[in-house]
Amino acid sequence: MSAEVSFDELLADDGRVEPRDPMPEDYRRSLVRQIAQHAHSEIIGMQPEGNWISRAPSLRRKAILMAKVQDEAGHGLYLYAAAETLGVDREDLLDQLHTGRQKYSSIFNYPTLTWADVGAIGWLVDGAAIVNQVPLCRCSYGPYARAMIRVCKEESFHQRQGFEILHTLAHGTPAQKAMAQDAVDRYWWPALMMFGPPDADSPHSAQSMAWGIKRFSNDELRQRFIDMTVPQAEALGLTLPDPELRWNAERGHYDSGPIDFTELFEVIQGNGPCNAQRMGHRVRAHEDGAWVREAASAYAAKQAARAAGEVA
């Protein structure tokens, strides 16, 4: 090869872009936006489930839920670290989250009203997240792809534990089964909206596909999720709240009813049931934790000074 491999050649060859490679500014900015939003979603996503840690129905469920919420924190950290390889500072990204200049996934603006919601989140929300994230393991930006590989490995436990919660409830008393059905009824449509607007209304999609950041369109991934999930719902003995849901042998896919995307846009605009609560809690947690960060800094400074004194 006579010349340095260019960005375009790298993409055409399905190669991976690494942090110090030359890359178009738009590509860099688009990745920062996406990875930061993804990281924010992971840490905001700790809240709806964290809400049930103290009320988990058994010690087993409680230990599992704590491990899951810790994983979400870990996923946030992998992703902030991946974003930082693009030359941004985690503190700045957090500032932008706290001041509303960067977003997180709308799904976390829905409340967890019952224990069954923890099951529905694991099964449907993490299930949808996996469908979204698996193709990101082949994303053109190396650090993001590597972070997603770790995340996907861990998400699989999240989805299974959610399924197990719902399976247990669905095979319990009539009241428990009703609780499971109610959770699925409330989370089904928001889970479908996690794939974003329909392809025709998705402004960034085409560019993201051209850059190898996105590998499949919103509607393709949504269809994949529906096809996977319908048989799982049957195994649970629960129904999905869409009267138009039926197998289409000709297409080889399930047909489904229209999605009310005005709801999605309302939630994105800040009018979901829990937007203010999630942000308020996030900012408060960050401020309340300041003393821990200050103590760690003070300790490190003292130890460094002591070490310097010993040398002198």
Other beta carbons less than 10 A from residue 226's beta carbon? 22
Binding marks (x or -) toward other proteins, 137..176, rule CB under 8 A? ---------xx--x---x----------------------
The one-letter amino acid at 279? M
* Identity of the residue, 150 or 281, whose beta carbon is nearer to other proteins in the bound complex: 150
Contact pick of 178, 210, 300, 305 for other proteins (by CB under 8 A) = 300
Do the Cβ atoms of 19 and 143 come closer than 8 Å? Answer: yes
Nearer to other proteins by C-beta: 20 or 60? 20
Task: Give 85-133 as a 3 state SS string.
Answer: CCCCCHHHHHHHHHCCCCCCCHHHHCCCCCHHHHHHHHHHHHHHHHHHH
Subset of residues 49 to 68 that bind other proteins, contact rule: CB under 8 A: 67
| Three-state secondary structure readout of 4-60 | CCCHHHHHHCCCCECCCCCCCHHHHHHHHHHHHHHHHHHHHCHHHHHCCHHHCCCHH
Q: By rule CB under 8 A, what string of x and - marks binding of each residue 219-258 to other proteins?
A: ----------------------------------------
Q: How far is the CB of 142 from other proteins (least distance, A)?
A: 11
C-alpha distances (whole Å) from 276 to each of 32, 44, 100, 118 are 24, 12, 11, 21
List the one residue from 6, 12, 22, 257 that touches other proteins (CB under 8 A). 22
Cβ 302 to other proteins shortest distance, Å: 10
Rounded to whole angstroms, the Cα distance separating 89 from 87 reads 7
Q: Is 74 in the site for other proteins (CB under 8 A)?
A: yes
Q: How far is the CB of 20 from other proteins (least distance, A)?
A: 4
The pattern of x and - marking residues 184 through 223 that bind other proteins according to CB under 8 A reads ----------------------------------------
**Relative orientation angle of helices 275-288 and 90-98, to the nearest 10 degrees:** 140
Q: Are 125 and 194 in contact (CB under 8 A)?
A: yes
Can you tell me which of 89, 201, 260, 287 binds other proteins, judged by CB under 8 A?
89
Contact 182, 149 (CB under 8 A): no
Binding stretches for other proteins (CB under 8 A) = 1, 3-4, 18, 20-22, 67, 70-71, 74, 77-78, 81-82, 84-85, 89-91, 146-147, 150, 154, 293, 296-297, 299-301, 303-304
